[in-house]
Chains A and B, each alone.
Chain A
């Protein structure tokens, strides 16, 4: 057993026995890890509120080789992302951002780019207006896909390499944009507008903070959101679900938020 220090963001928590919690973190140095925080549900626990969802904390944990569950010994809040809990809509977007990472990334694979990206999206969700959330989550999703190695090809047709015209499809199984000649080869191709393709290309080139300042949500950002999340779902194992994305869709179709 060895002792390790790192920074980590809480992706998920679940109660364990009477007063403990098991927390899934995405950490800067070790990627996705699970750790048990003994006694963390007791009111006077030393962990305080540092193990709440979306909180970024500095962590000290005991790592057990060849084990999936480590033991957390200390955590201290660096950023509580406290604006997220005040609004169920922000909670839903932040949950989708973290759950996608949880589902797509294997345990203990360091990915500092993804760590920075996750930190950035949670900060952005905290400060964004409700009507900007769809746009910035779509942008984050594309950046995240690139960071974990599933980035779709958008510069040219992913199958034949030809330039793309006004008629464009997105091949969920091909992994990127398709020209009119190639889209029939992919049974799971979704039609998209040229404007949606241009918006996705913009997602690749500018930061989420900049995007929030310069763009507003429209039909194309909605389409990009839907296509990119269909693509994320196509990458996870069959039958598995990303519940927060399902929740976001239900929320969009109802009047509850």
Chain B
């Protein structure tokens, strides 16, 4: 190929397979890597291989981990009476950062989405019910995203978990900290009123 090479073309094609990377961005990355020092490229390759060989999903909760079970599931100090259900592994990191929660997690790896063709069989729901029974869980905290599909997933999960006789809660929805009530829309305010809590 004039002005290029087959090897660069191959790299562009591989990079273009990644989410949010189009052909033009892939070309920019490929040309950057061509110019970069050899050590930088070697370090990137070894980081990719190491990640692929050593990182996976916890067989218990589905979170990202280098050991199986993950550090949270293996920690005897974590409360085993509560499971917090989230859509994606990244959500676990977000909740952990708060330092407010000491129970276990369960990652669904998605949400119910007719538009994307994702049904209950595509999510880790059977494993969730197995864990609730096996661990003797008393409270399931559903922390799906506050979107229409996240809410529908939440109501579906509540329907599945209810017969197991555990307490089902959701994380609070509504006005974010530091914002102004005047600027909140009707849906956000409605959810804040519905999920209001007693002042402690």
Contacts and interface: CB of A to CB of B under 8 A. Distances in A.
Contacts of B148: 52-54, 84-85, 91
Interface in B97-116: 112-116
Most B C-beta atoms less than 10 A away, residue of A16, A53, A85: A85
B147 interface: yes
Contacts of A241: 117
A247 B114 contact: yes
B190 interface: yes
Given A44-B176, A85-B151, A248-B114, A49 B20 contact: no
Given A52-B147, A53-B148, A53-B149, A95 B115 contact: yes
B120 to A, nearest CB: 5
Interface string A224-246: 00000000000000000101101
Given A48-B187, A80-B187, A96-B114, A85 B119 contact: no
Given A44-B176, A49-B187, A244 B115 contact: yes
Interface in A199-257: 241, 243-244, 246-248, 250-251, 256-257
A75 to B, nearest CB: 9
A163 to B, nearest CB: 40
Nearest to B155: A86
B43 interface: no
A86 B186 contact: no
B188 interface: yes
A48 B152 contact: no
B147 A243 contact: no
A61 to B, nearest CB: 18
Interface residues of B, number: 28
B119 A247 contact: yes
Contact of A88 (B152, B185, B188): B152
B188 A49 contact: yes
A50 B152 contact: no
Chain A, interface size category, equals 35 or more
A76 B185 contact: yes
B187 A91 contact: no
Interface string A39-82: 00001101011101111000000000000000000001100101
Contacts of A154: none
Contacts of A54: 148
B147 A43 contact: no
A46 B176 CA distance: 12
Contacts of A244: 114-115, 117
Interface string B47-81: 00000000000000000000000000000000000
Interface string A1-31: 0000000000010001100000000000000
Contact of A91 (B117, B149, B185, B188): B149
Nearest to A45: B176
Most B C-beta atoms less than 10 A away, residue of A43, A87, A88, A96: A88
Given A77-B185, A248-B114, 19 more contacts: A43-B176, A44-B176, A46-B183, A48-B184, A48-B185, A48-B188, A49-B187, A49-B188, A50-B187, A53-B147, A77-B187, A85-B151, A91-B114, A91-B149, A92-B114, A244-B115, A247-B117, A247-B119, A256-B119
Pairs of residues from A and B, 10 with the lowest C-beta to C-beta distance, nearest first = A48-B185, A95-B114, A243-B117, A85-B151, A247-B114, A43-B176, A244-B114, A85-B148, A49-B187, A91-B152
Interface of B: 20, 112-117, 119-120, 146-149, 151-153, 155-156, 176, 178-179, 183-188, 190
Interface of A: 12, 16-17, 43-44, 46, 48-50, 52-55, 76-77, 80, 82, 84-88, 90-92, 95-96, 98-99, 241, 243-244, 246-248, 250-251, 256-257
5 contacts: A48-B187, A77-B186, A85-B151, A87-B152, A256-B156
